[in-house]
Structure 1
Amino acid sequence: MMPPHAQDGRGSKTPLGDYVQTHLDREEMSSRELVRRSRDPEGPGKLQPQWMNDMIRGDVPPPALWRLRALAAGMSTNENGVRDAAGYARQLKEIKRLAAIQWYELEEVVEIEIEGGAWVTVSVPPDLSEEDRLKVVKWAETMARDLAPE
C-alpha cells in the first residue's frame, strides 16, 4: 500500500496524480483497470497505460480536455462498465481543479457558476483573510454576471 496522498492539491507538486493514486488505492484498482474504463464520453479519446503512469508521477505536459474527461469517466465507472452520471460530473470538476493547480500553478481555484450553465474559474491567493477571499469571490461573481450573454 502506498502512503497517503494529498487530497486537496496543497503542498504537492502532483495533486492530480496524487488524487488518482488515492482513488486507485481506495478502490484497490490497478492503473491498467482504470485505463480500461477511461474513455472520453464526448469523443473517441481513450487513455493509454503509459500516459496514466506518467501522469500519476507528474511526467506529462498539461493534458488536453478530452484526457480529463476520459479520466473522470474512468473514475466514475464501476467494474461492470456502468457510469454514475452524478459521479462523473463531480469527478470532472475536481480533476479540472487539480489540473489547474498542477499545471498552471494556481494555489486555490474557485469555480463560479453563472446563468446558462456557464462558469468562470478564479485563482484565490491562499494567504488572504477570509474577508478578502469573499471579496475576490464577489468580484468574480460580478464579472461573470457582466460577461454573461443577455
Structure 2
Amino acid sequence: MLYLVIVVPGDIPVFETQLASNDGKMKEDLNQFVVHAALDIVDRKLWTTPSLYLKQVDRFNDLQISVYVTASHVKFMLLHDPRCDEASIGVFFNDLYDLYLKIALNPFHQRTSPITSPAFADNVRALADRTLPKL
C-alpha cells in the first residue's frame, strides 16, 4: 500500500495519488484522514531536526507515514507498508523533489493550485515503480 500526498504551506494538499493498490484494505477518504492527522506531528518534528527527510513520523494500524519537507515547507507525505525500507523511501523523496521543482518553477503554476499534469502523475508512478519495493 503506497499513498502519496504533496502538501503546501497552509496544509493545502495539491497532489495525491495511490501508487500501489491497497487490496481493499483502506478507503481513499481514510487515507486522506490518516495523512491529515499526521500534519501536526510533522510540524512539531520539523523544528527538532536539521534533516529534510523526517523518516517515519506516525503510524496507523499496520501502516506508517514517512515525510520529506522541502526548504519552502512543502511536505511530501507517504502512507506505506512497514516493509518499505527507509533508504528506498529516501531515494524516492529526493527524486520526487526534482520532479516537483520542475512544476514549482513553472511561472504559470500557482503554488496552492492542484497539480493536474498527467505527465507529472505518470512520472511519479514511474519513479515509485523504479525506487520503491513491490509489495
TM-score by length of 2: 0.33
Which structure has the higher relative contact order (CA within 8 Å, separation 6+)? 2
Structure with the largest fraction of strand: 2
TM-score by length of 1: 0.31
